[in-house]
């Protein structure tokens, strides 16, 4: 548990902002709210403090005990898909005034207030302008009902205008000085998204706003001074939308730390030769293609386009340069899709050649998204009253979902080892069959105790799903030599499997660490 605070002399109100996220990093929302508010004189009567917790290390009771012990007048929590269920447990244990914000409260403010009577208010949308007004209200300078962007049991106010990103202060230098030893950090160089994916709550007005490039580079300079930071995740919708700006950012990082692991989202159509040349000089960078689906009906329903020719041309350019650094994303449970459609998308991804990983996840119906607003028309059934994970929809049955999980699980298992992966691809080519058909036919011959009773999601959509995934993978990983020998005996390609012990991937090692963490109760 980590904390920081710059208490104002004689502060009359103490506000405590808590983030619940991953290990070895920070949740940005509490940090940016604190930094933004402390620019203004009217924040002086308020002591804004922050606390950071790990989703995997800390229980609701652990967090509540520490937060309650701080004696704060107001406790603020940022709600995301990954910590939603934990916050539902946490809030009833908290003492004093509680406020919630974050993307996963959008459009369900009333339901949350009814469910958690000790929550005083909920902030919808961007929080900086709302937060500074809340500080004035907490000090009695203005009435609470005049604050924009909040919902209480008595009223709901519309949000303020979008924040001018040039007014954000530089914060990473101070933040990382207060939290030394972090290994990775999220960074946002823009807000908003011009795309209209119906499963996403990100786009809003579909306008993209850019932070000043000078500020972005200054913040990156502060981050790169901290040697413990080995990875930066740009959580922008697509930093390649402005190519000149993206090149400036990447060149800046290359000049200072070419060994840094840099990750960002992008549309394959924006992957130009100059960008590829930059990525080539960042050897630790993973390059991810967000394919999601190639099913035309599913693409139409989610509001995405797939221009196969452009995608394949850019993929080929990337594959020539990067090979094992490429990953691919797919979603199952999409309306308009079914298991056959998902399987076809998987086989398409498998046909593209050398890919490090194919990441699959169930569709999430996120509050604030088009899918959430029109859930009934798509026939979405979720896993439970507190889940946003799709269990089925009008076209993708529950049985289809289990079949998609099974295929995803075994693709991931085979891709943990490049020798076993390549042997699978070679068998499919030799037999002129789909890779998925070869894989599933082999899986069906495995001893019963090899196969999970219910296959987990490989990219979990909720906190509780991580442990299920790790337990299922742990059972397989412990028997990997047996799996390899069964494949060798039944399908051949012995030469490709020679020395397979030296060909486990980085992701395999990471999963081993996750399993060890779960078994030992630590991160």
pLDDT in tens, the chain (523 residues): 554 444 444 458 999 999 999 889 999 999 999 999 999 886 678 899 999 999 988 999 999 999 999 999 999 999 999 999 999 999 999 998 999 999 999 999 999 999 999 999 999 989 999 999 999 999 889 999 999 999 999 999 999 999 999 999 999 999 999 999 999 999 999 998 888 899 988 755 578 999 999 999 999 999 999 999 999 999 998 999 999 999 999 999 999 999 999 998 888 889 999 999 999 999 999 888 999 999 999 999 999 999 999 999 999 999 988 878 899 999 999 999 999 999 999 999 999 987 899 999 999 999 989 999 999 999 999 999 889 999 999 999 999 999 999 999 999 999 999 999 999 999 999 999 999 999 999 999 999 988 898 999 998 877 778 888 999 999 998 899 999 999 999 887 678 898 999 999 988 998 888 887 766 654 4
> Taking a C-beta distance cutoff of 8 angstroms, is the pair 376, 335 a contact?
no
Q: Give the model's pLDDT for residue 7.
A: 40
Nearest-Å Rg of the Cα atoms of the chain is 24
Report pLDDT for 79: 95
- What b/e readout covers 364-386, taking b as 16+ CB neighbours within 10 angstroms? bbbbbbbbbeebeebebebbeee
CB 176 within 8 A of CB 223: yes
Q: Per DSSP, which regions of 95-183 are E strands?
A: 97-101, 119-123, 150-151
Residue 473 near residue 413 (C-beta atoms within 8 A): yes
- The alpha carbon of 346 is separated from its chain's Cα centroid by a whole number of angstroms, namely 21
Going from the C-alpha of 182 to that of each of 32, 50, 440, 488, the distances in angstroms are 17, 16, 41, 43
Return the structure tokens found at 422.
Answer: 């390549």
Cβ partners under 8 Å of residue 298, min gap 6: 334, 335, 336, 337, 341
Is 232 in a helix, a strand, or coil? strand
Position 518 scores a pLDDT of 67
CA 283, 285, 509, 417 dihedral sign is negative
Q: What's the Cα-to-Cα distance from 325 to each of 158, 241, 281, 287, rounded to whole Å?
A: 44, 22, 13, 6
Residue the block writes with tokens 């946490």: 90
SS3 assignment, position 171: coil
The span from the CA of 368 to the CA of 102, in Å, is 11
Distance of CA 417 to the CA centre of its chain: 24
- Residue 270 CA: distances (Å) to CA of 44, 241, 282, 289, 292: 45, 7, 18, 11, 17
How many other β-carbons are positioned within 10 Å of the β-carbon of residue 4?
18
Q: Which residues pair with 329 in a beta bridge?
A: 359
| Residues whose CB is less than 8 angstroms from the CB of residue 512 and which lie 6 or more positions away in sequence, other chains included | 477
122 Cβ neighbours under 8 A, 6+ residues apart:
99, 100, 101, 105, 109, 112, 113, 150, 151, 152
Q: What is the DSSP letter of 203?
A: -
Q: Which pTM does this prediction carry?
A: 0.92
Quickly count: other Cβ atoms within 10 Å of residue 69's Cβ.
9
CA gap 188, 265 in Å, rounded? 11
Cα 414 from Cα 504, distance rounded (Å) = 10
Domains of the chain listed by start with CATH number? 2-162 (3.40.50.280), 164-285 (3.30.750.210), 287-292+321-523 (no CATH)
| Dist. CA 332–CA 304, nearest whole Å | 15
Show Cβ contacts of residue 145 under 8 Å, excluding neighbours closer than 6 positions. 152, 154, 155, 157
Q: Among 252, 200, 243, which residue's Cα sits nearest to residue 367? A: 200
Q: Length of the chain in residues, anyone?
A: 523
The β-bridge relationship of strands 97-101 and 74-78 is parallel
């Amino acid at each position: 548990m980590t904390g920081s605070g710059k208490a104002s002399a004689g502060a009359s109100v103490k506000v405590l902002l808590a983030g619940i996220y991953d290990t070895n990093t920070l949740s940005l929302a509490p940090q940016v709210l604190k930094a933004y508010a402390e620019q203004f004189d009217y924040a002086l009567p308020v002591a804004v403090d922050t606390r950071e917790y790990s989703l995997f290390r800390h229980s609701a009771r652990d967090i509540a005990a520490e937060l309650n012990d701080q004696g704060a007048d107001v406790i603020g929590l940022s709600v995301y898909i990954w910590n939603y269920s934990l916050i539902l447990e946490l809030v009833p244990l908290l003492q004093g005034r509680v406020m919630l914000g974050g993307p996963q409260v959008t459009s369900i403010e009333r339901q949350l207030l009814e469910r958690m009577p000790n929550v005083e208010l909920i902030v919808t949308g961007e929080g900086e302008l709302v937060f500074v007004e809340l500080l004035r209200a907490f000090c009695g300078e203005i009435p609470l009902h005049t604050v924009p962007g909040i919902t209480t049991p008595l009223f709901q106010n519309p949000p303020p205008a979008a924040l001018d990103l040039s007014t954000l202060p530089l914060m990473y230098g101070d933040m990382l000085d207060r939290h030394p030893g972090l290994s990775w950090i999220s960074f946002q160089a823009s807000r908003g998204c011009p795309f209209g994916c119906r499963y996403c709550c990100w786009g809003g007005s579909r306008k993209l706003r850019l932070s000043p490039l000078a500020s972005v580079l200054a913040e990156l300079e502060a981050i790169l001074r901290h040697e413990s930071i080995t990875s930066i995740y740009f959580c922008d919708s697509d930093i390649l939308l402005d190519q000149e700006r993206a090149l400036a950012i990447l060149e800046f990082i290359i000049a200072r730390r070419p060994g840094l692991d840099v990750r960002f989202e992008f549309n394959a159509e924006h992957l130009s030769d100059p960008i590829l040349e930059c990525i080539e000089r960042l050897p630790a960078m993973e390059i991810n293609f967000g394919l999601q689906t190639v099913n035309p009906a599913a693409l139409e329903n989610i509001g995405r386009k797939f221009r196969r020719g452009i995608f394949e041309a850019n993929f080929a350019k990337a594959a020539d340069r990067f090979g094992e650094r490429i990953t691919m994303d797919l979603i199952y449970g999409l309306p308009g899709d079914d298991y056959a459609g998902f399987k076809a998308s998987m086989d398409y991804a498998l046909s593209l050649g050398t890919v490090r990983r194919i990441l699959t996840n169930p569709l999430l119906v996120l509050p604030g998204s088009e899918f959430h607003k029109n859930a009934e028309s798509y026939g979405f059934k979720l896993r439970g009253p507190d889940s946003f994970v799709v269990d089925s929809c009008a076209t993708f049955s529950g049985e289809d979902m289990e079949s998609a999980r099974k295929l995803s699980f075994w693709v991931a298992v085979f891709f943990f080892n490049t020798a076993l992966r390549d042997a699978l691809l070679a068998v499919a080519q030799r037999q002129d069959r789909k890779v998925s058909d070869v894989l599933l036919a082999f899986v069906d011959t495995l001893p019963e105790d090899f196969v999970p009773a219910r296959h987990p999601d490989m990219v979990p959509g909720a906190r509780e799903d991580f442990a299920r995934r790790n337990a299922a993978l742990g059972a397989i990983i412990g028997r990997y030599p047996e799996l390899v020998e069964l494949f060798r005996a039944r399908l051949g390609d012995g030469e490709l499997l020679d020395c397979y012990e030296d060909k486990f991937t980085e992701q395999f090692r990471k999963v081993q660490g996750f399993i060890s963490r779960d078994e030992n109760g630590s991160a």
